[in-house]
Amino acid sequence: MRTAVDLAHKPVDWATQATQLKEIAKVMIDKAYSQLPIRDGERNVGRVTEDMICTVLKGRDAGLVAMDPVRKLPKSGKPFEPIDPRTTEARILELLEGEQAVLVRIGKRPQDWGIITRADFVKRLL
């Protein structure tokens, strides 16, 4: 039986409160992500979504918005739920019914995180 640690993509692409929106947009486009987790030090504190970026663009110059750091967003999304590395594939699918992605702590170091998305399961159909 496969578990979260088996399914997780590593490493996770993170944003910080200081990351400029143009950097986030580049990662989202290059990797076909619709959102990125935000961390503050070692803590998972939120997420940036395409929708949030589009909302900020309303009535503003894209060139100026591109330079804005994440902390200038009116709000950040709730953090992705962290799950136990031993969580089963069936339970992960249940969690993903209400979430786009979950994070998996796969070690002790700050960079030891993985992520599992709905798209990971959809790709299995190909």
Domain boundaries, the chain: 4-125
pLDDT at residue 111, rounded to an integer = 76
Dist CA 76 CA 16 (whole Å): 11
pLDDT in tens, 80-105: 999 999 999 999 999 999 999 999 99
pLDDT for position 86: 95
pLDDT (tens digit per residue) in 54-68: 999 998 999 999 999
CATH architecture of 4-125: Roll (3.10)
Strands 35-40 and 101-105 come out as unpaired
Residue 37 CA: distances (Å) to CA of 42, 47, 82, 89, 119: 12, 4, 11, 21, 16
Residue type at position 87: T
By CB atoms closer than 10 A (0-12, 13-18, 19+), residue 85 is: middle
- The arithmetic mean of pLDDT across residues 42-55, rounded, is 92
Name the pLDDT band for 48 (thresholds 50, 70, 90). very high
Q: Which residues pair with 48 in a beta bridge?
A: 36
Helix extents (H) in 1-126: 4-7, 21-31, 50-57, 62-67, 89-95, 118-122
Task: Please give the pLDDT value at position 89.
Answer: 95
**Can you give the C-alpha Rg of the chain in angstroms?**
15
